[in-house]
Amino acid sequence: MKKYEIKKWLKKLRPLKNWQLFLILVPLLFVSVELLRRDHIRMVELRDAVLAADEDEDTEKITSNLEALRDFTFSNVVINVVDDNGGQCITFGTGPFYLEHLYIRAALTALSEAELSFDSDTNPNGNVYGAASAICQPLAIQNGWSWNNPNYVNCMLDEIAKYPSMDDEIKDNIIAKIPSTELYRYDFASPIWAPTLTGFVLLLDLIIIVVIFIRIFVWIFLKIAIRFV
């Protein structure tokens, strides 16, 4: 490339000033942050509605609110800060949350079904459920635990597990009936980009940033090249 051609390219780049691009970029970044904040707040509102329905034991609302939360998260850019082994990390989506009350109801129902499945004669220890209740119910009254408090459920399970001579069939029945906590754990992931107002503003930010870096790189390259022509 000849020297006059390099100067010609430098002149073409001059009308597009980097400071002008920065003037456009800065307010756009503030707009992006505000839009992301609003999307995050909306996600939190929908997630809180799910947890409130769970606390109210309203299964229909839990289902409908979960669907609304899932649909919103799947179709919007939702940035969230979640706890990760004692620290915090940024993720796209709701982050993990649990339907604690729904799980406790299912666990208590499973315990009741297991109790009805076997009478006291099938276990050499007698009625282990009655024995566990005799220990856990006073503790519940003393500590103010309600019937659906996780401390009460854990107390019952711990007391039942203290009987090593229980028939394996009974143990297997109890284990099979108690649902896994993972069934009540949700974590909806958000796309990194979505065709929404927030998404298009973020895309415009990215384009401007890329253009600025390309201009800087080309400018440096041409400045270096002109010294060797």
pLDDT tens-digit series, residues 18-59: 777 788 889 999 999 999 999 999 999 999 999 999 988 888
**Same domain assignment for residues 144 and 201:** no
For residue 199, pLDDT beyond 90 = yes
Q: pLDDT tens, 91-105? A: 999 999 989 888 888
Contacts made by residues 110-114, CB under 8 angstroms, sequence distance 24+: 110/174, 110/177, 110/178, 110/179, 111/153, 111/156, 111/157, 111/174, 111/177, 111/178, 113/177, 114/170, 114/173, 114/174, 114/177
Radius of gyration of the chain (CA): 31
Instruction: Indicate whether 113 and 11 sit together in one domain.
Output: no
Angle between helices 197-227 and 18-55 (to 10 degrees): 150
Do 150 and 88 sit in the same domain of this protein?
no
Model-level pTM greater than 0.75? no
Q: How many CB atoms lie within 10 A of CB 202?
A: 21
Residue 43 lies in domain: 3-96+187-227
Q: Do 8 and 91 have their domain in common? A: yes
**In a shared domain, residues 7 and 92:** yes
Question: In terms of Cα–Cα distance, which of 171, 139, 179 is closest to 155?
Answer: 139
pLDDT at 172: 59
Picking from 183, 198, 215, the residue at the C-terminal end of a domain is 183
Quick one: which of 80, 77, 99 has its CA closest to 88? Answer: 80
* Residues 134 and 81 grouped into a single domain: no
CB 222 within 8 A of CB 6: yes
Residue of 161 and 213 predicted with greater confidence: 213
192 and 90 inside one domain: yes
Q: How many domains does the chain have?
A: 2
